[in-house]
A and B are shown apart, each in its own frame.
Chain A
Amino acid sequence: EIVLTQSPATLSLSPGERATLSCRASQSISNNLAWYQQKPGQAPRLLIYADSNRATGIPARFSGSGSGTDFTLTISSLEPEDFAVYYCQHRSSWPRTWTFGQGTKVEIK
C-alpha cells in the first residue's frame, strides 16, 4: 500500500511569498498525483491532477511538479484566499485504492 507523506505539516508565510509544499510517496508513482485545497467548513477543491495539470478555473499561480516519489505544489505568490490546508492524493492500480496525504496547513505568518 502506497503511503503519501506531506511536509511540512504547517507552513507560516506572508501574502506575496512563495509556498512550496512537498508530497513524498513510499514507492514510485507517476501521472496519478492530485492536489486539493480545503478551507475551514468547506469541501476540498481540486487544484492539480495528473501531477501537473491545473483543474478548471485554478489560477496560474498554482503549479504542480515532480515524478517518481517526490512531488511539489508551488504557489508562486500567496494571495489572502490561499491560506488553507492542502492535500495530495494518489490512486493505486492494485489494490484499487485512493490515498491522501495527511495535509499541509498554510497559515498567515
Chain B
Amino acid sequence: QVQLVESGGGLVKPGGSLRLSCAASGFTFSDYWMTWIRQAPGKGLEWVSYISSRDSTIYYADSMKGRFTISRDNAKNSLSLQMNNLRAEDTGVYYCARGNWNHAFDIWGQGTMVTVSS
C-alpha cells in the first residue's frame, strides 16, 4: 500500500543538528513532489519545505531558510531533511507528505518527534 515512514527524530540541544528521513513505498516516488510539514505540541500545522519530483526546485518557509536542507534520492525512494542550528521553537512532530497535482498533500507519514531542549 501507499506509505510514508519517517525516522530520525529525537532529543537535541539548542544549536545542534538532526537529519530526518522519510521512506516511501507503494507508488512511483519519482513522479511526485514532496514536502515536510511540522506541528508544535498542541499547535497547528506549519509547512516547512518543498522539493520537486526531479530535485530541481526547492522552497523553504522563511524561518527555516539557511538552517534546513531538503533532499531526495529517487533511486532509494527516500526524502530527507537536514536540520542545523536547531532552536527550541523547532520542537514538534515532523511529517513528510506527498503532493498531488492540485497542490494538496494527499499522503502523510505518521510523523517523527523532534525535541530541542537543553
Residues of A within 8 A of B (CB): 31-32, 34, 36, 38, 42-46, 49-50, 53, 55-56, 87, 89, 91, 95-103
Q: Is the CB of A32 within 8 A of B108?
A: no
B44 A102 Cβ-Cβ under 8 A: yes
Complex Cα distance A96/B35, Å? 13
Which of A31, A98, A99, A101 sits near B50, CB closer than 8 Å? A98
Q: Are A97 and B61 in contact (CB under 8 A)?
A: yes
How far, in whole Å, are A38 and B43 apart by their CA atoms in the complex? Answer: 12
A-B contact list, 7 entries, CB within 8 Å? A34-B105, A45-B108, A46-B100, A46-B104, A89-B104, A91-B103, A97-B59
Interface SS of B by simple majority: strand
CA distance A22 to B26 in the complex (A): 35
Q: Which residues of A sit under 8 angstroms from B95, Cβ to Cβ?
A: 43-44
Q: A97-B61, A98-B50, A100-B45 are in contact. Are A43 and B109 (CB under 8 A)?
A: yes
> Contact string, B94-116, partner A, CB cutoff 8 A, digits 1/0?
01000010111110111100000
Measured CB to CB, the residues of B under 8 A from A are 35, 37, 44-47, 50, 59, 61, 95, 100, 102-106, 108-111
A34 CA / B95 CA spacing, docked (Å): 17
Q: Are B103 and A46 neighbours in the complex by a CB distance under 8 Å?
A: no
Point out the residues of chain A lying under 8 angstroms from B104, CB to CB: 34, 46, 49-50, 55, 89, 91
B102–A43 CB distance below 8 A: no
Closest to B45 in A: A100
Other-chain contact of A96, B50, B106, B108, B111 (Cβ < 8 Å): B50
Measured between alpha carbons, how far is A97 from B109 in the docked complex, in Å? 20
